[in-house]
Amino acid sequence: MSLQVRRRVLPGFGLTMGITLLYLSLIVLIPLATLPARSFTMSWQAFRDTVTDPRVVASYRLSLGASLAAAAVNAVFGGVVAWVLARYAFPGRRVVDALIDLPFALPTAVAGIVLTTLYAPGGWLGKPLAQYGVTVAFTPLGVTVALIFIGLPFVVRTLQPVIEDLDPEVEEAATSLGASRTGVLLRVILPNLLPAWLTGFALAFARALGEYGSVVFISGNMPMRTEISPLLIVTKLEQYDYAGATAIAIVMLALSFCLLLCINGLQTWARRRVAP
Amino acid sequence: MTTSIVRAAVFSAAIAAFAAPAPGQTLLNVSYDPTRELYQDLNAAFVKYWKGKTGQAVTIRQSHGGSGAQARAVIDGLEADVVTLALAYDIDAIAQSGLTSTAWQKRFPQNSAPYTSTIVFLVRKGNPKGIKDWGDLSNPGLQIITPNPKTSGGARWNYLAAWGYALRQFGGDDKARQFVADLYKKVPVLDSGARASTMTFLRRQIGDVLIAWENEAHLALEESPNQLEIVVPSISILAEPPVAIVDKVVDRKGTRAIAEAYLQYLYSTEGQEIAAKHHYRPRDQAIAAKFAASFAKVKLFTVDEAFGGWQTAQKTHFADGAMFDRLYRLVAR
């Protein structure tokens, strides 16, 4: 038995790996590689000045902060939505299920315009909120709201199938063995969901970092306060400063790559805890 | 490099003169956002004119977007036969990439700008804040809407109009800087484009004044005549949206003759009338006189007079770390 070659379902490791590498190179690596190539036209000094300009630094802070906040909010509420959709049958469930995908399909500029109109000081939601002293449109909060909107499907769609696969009988067994409700939640359900949850969080976060279309409408684009990094990239392009634009892009790329790497590490750790 | 382009241009012009153009030519006009309706009418008229003159059928395709983004698309390979953009700076960028002659602005009359516009104010009906001229924009408690000049070509005209006014009114760059900084302090939202600003002002009812191109202001007024009024200041900038032929493209496609005729047509009586109907100020004196009622009298200064041309204006005002960025550091404080 030990001599027998392990058979794989798909034949030809060489072939599939070759296709994988070619595909990844064409779609991801080559376009990304042109980024540093373009910014290499500037000196190290110029590169550093560009990416450490106070205005640019303020934009990293907003982009990263708002993206993390939006992904966190989505992780919590998207988790609840996924749970409800997977576990309960109620009238209109299919409609709600279909609604989740809308932020995927809607052109982001449309989403931005709609959200801005709703949350502007005179809008349906903006007006009542203003009475409590909360302004959403044209503040970092507005940026976060737009990012929550576009990030929601990522959390729901990664969690939902995992919850559906969770066998309720396991929870019943835990209960019959004397576990409390919180015990079941914390020691049975959460560990099983954690890897998918982190994936959803990471996807929502990554999507939010690069988002441009919906945010520029609701952010108000005030220098130092509500400019996201992608807007500054566009600002540079508008001056035909391709090198400066790619410099900011590289920093964004590096930051998000590090963060995604951390999240992946957490995920591996979580998965190892579930399946020894 | 320029000489080789010129040589190539002359050479291919010679070829174009001998070779009979193929029937069913297609031209691509890459333009900026608010000219969509203008060029729909102009294209229809030109197609008819060209058919009558040469018997040749021509199709004109249009592409619209932000002026800078359109210029970048052309530089990156969008096959535009002609470009009709919001500012000379964007066509300069195309010329610097080698696609057309750097002397493009000398090729057609009037700085290659067949129609012009200017910067005016849109206010709420009845003008409740009593805004008459640029000076009134310093009134306390006012909210002003204008897009971000760093992302919007159109907004750069707004900024330069304000600066030019202050320069004449108060004399000296220091006073002008103070005036423009005060103005931008009153801007609650810097939208990324002119249309977005119009929407902020019109749909979301934010702000007391919208600084806008005259033709855009008229379009907005036609849409909601009961909500708005146009206020024309005593002095403003002469906005010259320029046109140019993209040498490399027309030479490759053999469309130079027709592209030239197309841009010339913009200066013709019919072309000028169509422009005037779409609220662009015609260059032709006779047509201007005919439409005198629709364009308020205003003293106009040009970018060349007040700022020494677009390249200089861009460098002193809109480049990173230049005047606009420095003003914003004052505003933020």
Model confidence over B148-187: pLDDT tens digits? Answer: 998 888 899 999 999 999 999 998 889 999 999 999 999 9
Chain B residues within an 8 Å CB radius of A116: 204
pLDDT reported for residue A5? 55
User: Is the CB of B323 inside 8 Å of chain A's CB atoms?
Assistant: no
Q: What is the mean pLDDT of residues B224-236?
A: 94
Query: Which of A81, A209, A192, A233 has the alpha carbon at shortest distance from A150?
Result: A209
pLDDT reported for residue B278? 95
Q: What is the mean pLDDT of residues B203-214?
A: 93
Q: Choosing among A240, A241, A242, which should be mutated to test the B contact, i.e. which has the most B CBs within 10 A?
A: A240
Contact across the interface for A117 and B204, Cβ inside 8 Å: yes
Token pair belonging to A141: 């909060």
Q: Please state, in angstroms and rounded to a whole number, the distance separating the CA atoms of residues B33 and B60.
A: 17
Are residues B147 and B236 in contact, defined by beta-carbon separation less than 8 angstroms? Answer: no
Q: What is the mean pLDDT of residues A128-147?
A: 93
Q: What is the mean pLDDT of residues B317-327?
A: 90
Tell me B23's DSSP state. Answer: S
pLDDT reported for residue B11? 46
Q: Label residue A235 by pLDDT band (50, 70, 90).
A: confident
Q: Label residue A241 by pLDDT band (50, 70, 90).
A: confident
Q: Please state, in angstroms and rounded to a whole number, the distance separating the CA atoms of residues A221 and B241.
A: 26
Q: What is the mean pLDDT of residues A71-87?
A: 95
Tell me A177's DSSP state. Answer: T
pLDDT tens digits for range A185-212: 888 888 889 999 999 999 999 999 989 9
- Using DSSP bridges, classify how beta strands B82-84 and B115-124 pair: parallel, antiparallel or unpaired: unpaired
Token pair belonging to B14: 């010679």
Contact across the interface for A240 and B72, Cβ inside 8 Å: yes
Sheet (strand B25-32) strand order: B58-65, B25-32, B82-84, B243-245
Is pLDDT of B106 > 90?
yes
Helices B256-265 + B2-18 axis angle, to 10:
100
Q: How many CA atoms lie within 13 A of A118 on its CB side?
A: 10
User: Is the CB of B203 inside 8 Å of chain A's CB atoms?
Assistant: yes
Is pLDDT of A136 > 70?
yes
Contact across the interface for A238 and B68, Cβ inside 8 Å: yes
Is pLDDT of A82 > 90?
yes
Query: How much is the ipTM here?
Result: 0.73
Alpha helices in A106-241 (DSSP H): 108-119, 126-131, 140-165, 168-176, 181-184, 190-210, 215-219, 229-238
The percent of residues above 90 in pLDDT, for chain A, comes to 46
Are residues A246 and A140 in contact, defined by beta-carbon separation less than 8 angstroms? Answer: no
How many residues make up chain B in this entry?
333
Q: Label residue B12 by pLDDT band (50, 70, 90).
A: very low
Token pair belonging to A102: 């809308």
Q: Please state, in angstroms and rounded to a whole number, the distance separating the CA atoms of residues B275 and B280.
A: 5
Is pLDDT of A80 > 60?
yes
pLDDT reported for residue B14? 44
In the three-class reduction of DSSP (H, G, I as helix; E, B as strand; rest coil), residue A225 is classed as coil
pLDDT reported for residue A6? 62
User: Is the CB of A214 inside 8 Å of chain B's CB atoms?
Assistant: no
Closest by Cβ to B190, choosing from A113, A123, A222: A222
- Using DSSP bridges, classify how beta strands B58-65 and B25-32 pair: parallel, antiparallel or unpaired: parallel
pLDDT tens digits for range A161-178: 999 998 888 888 888 888
pLDDT reported for residue B332? 64
User: Is the CB of B242 inside 8 Å of chain A's CB atoms?
Assistant: no
Is pLDDT of A74 > 50?
yes
Instruction: Kindly report the nearest CA distance between residue A42 and chain B, in angstroms.
Output: 15
Q: What is the mean pLDDT of residues A21-25?
A: 90
Q: Which helix (H) or strand (E) holds A102?
A: helix A102-105
Closest by Cβ to B328, choosing from A53, A223, A235: A223
Q: List beta partners, residue B282.
A: B115
Contact across the interface for B325 and A239, Cβ inside 8 Å: no
Q: Label residue A9 by pLDDT band (50, 70, 90).
A: low
Per the rule left: phi > 0, alpha: psi between -120 and 50, beta: everything else, A138 is left
pLDDT reported for residue A78? 95
pTM: 0.81
Nearest residue on chain B to A119, judged by CA atoms?
A: B204
Are residues A140 and A226 in contact, defined by beta-carbon separation less than 8 angstroms? Answer: yes
| Chain centre to alpha carbon of residue B263 | 16
Q: How many CA atoms lie within 13 A of A241 on its CB side?
A: 23
Query: Which of A24, A58, A241 has the alpha carbon at shortest distance from A143?
Result: A58
Closest by Cβ to B319, choosing from A55, A224, A239: A239
Nearest residue on chain B to A217, judged by CA atoms?
A: B191
Q: List beta partners, residue B210.
A: B122, B145
pLDDT reported for residue A32? 83
In the three-class reduction of DSSP (H, G, I as helix; E, B as strand; rest coil), residue A80 is classed as helix
Nearest residue on chain B to A110, judged by CA atoms?
A: B196
How many residues make up chain A in this entry?
276
pLDDT reported for residue B139? 92
**Residue linked to tokens 């737009």:** A146
